[in-house]
Amino acid sequence: MTGQEKGVENISYFVQTKQCGDESEILFVLCLCVSLMNSNDYIKTKAMRLVEIWKERASEV
């Protein structure tokens, strides 16, 4: 597993276990996901899923 893949795993854990934070926190995570989308397919798939989870969570608030 590369450093980036490990990073996306950590972000994944963060998004899935933490309640929606304030706007800046959400933007930070989304920007991070977008920057990771230029990586390999594994990371791209994970990042897209995180964006979906975050959107779902944000709409529940």
Residue pLDDT, tens place only, 12-38: 777 666 655 566 666 677 777 677 666
Q: Which residues contact 34 (CB under 8 A, 6 or more apart)?
A: 47
pLDDT tens-digit series, residues 40-49: 777 777 777 7
Measured between alpha carbons, how far is 17 from 39 in angstroms, rounded to an integer? Answer: 24
Is the CB of residue 44 less than 8 Å from the CB of residue 36?
A: yes
- Nearest Cα to Cα of residue 56 among 36, 26, 28: 26
**39 pLDDT more than 60:** yes
Is the CB of residue 15 less than 8 Å from the CB of residue 53?
A: yes
- Tokens in use for 5? 């893949």
Minimum mean pLDDT range among 5-9, 24-28, 43-47, 53-57: 24-28
Q: Domain containing 11: what range?
A: 3-60
Measured in whole angstroms, how far is the alpha carbon of residue 43 from the centre of its chain? 10
- Report how many domains make up the chain: 1
